[in-house]
Amino acid sequence: MDLFLAVLPPVVEALRAAAQEQTNMAFTDEGLRFLAAGMSIAFGVIAPALAIGNLVGKAMEALGRNPEAQPAIQTNMILGLAFAEALGIYALVTAVMIGFVF
């Protein structure tokens, strides 16, 4: 997140400079808003995707080592998947709010 916040201002300034040099390029705050919405959903679903993949992989390893513990492992895995998926949904809600509300 810190890297994203560090890279964002130079990118915005470069886009503004490019827009001032080319008169046929439409550069508005609405365009930046939609760009920010797209970037927020793109970066916001990376962590849940990695978490879900890691969680399911570790659960499969645990089931391979101890098949008798399947009910406990499956319950905890599904709970973890729900929490990880909630992060992706929060990113989607944030992107929609940036794109259409603000």
CATH number at residue 29: 1.20.20.10
Number of domains in the chain: 1
CA 8 to chain CA centroid, nearest Å: 16
The whole-number mean pLDDT for each consecutive block of 10 residues of the chain, a chain of 102 residues, reads 66 71 64 84 88 93 94 93 90 87 77
With contact defined as beta carbons under 8 Å apart, do 4 and 43 qualify? yes
Residue 47 lies in domain: 2-101
Rounded distance, CA 97 to CA 102, Å?
A: 6
What confidence score (pLDDT) does residue 38 get?
Answer: 86
What confidence score (pLDDT) does residue 66 get?
Answer: 93
What confidence score (pLDDT) does residue 73 get?
Answer: 93
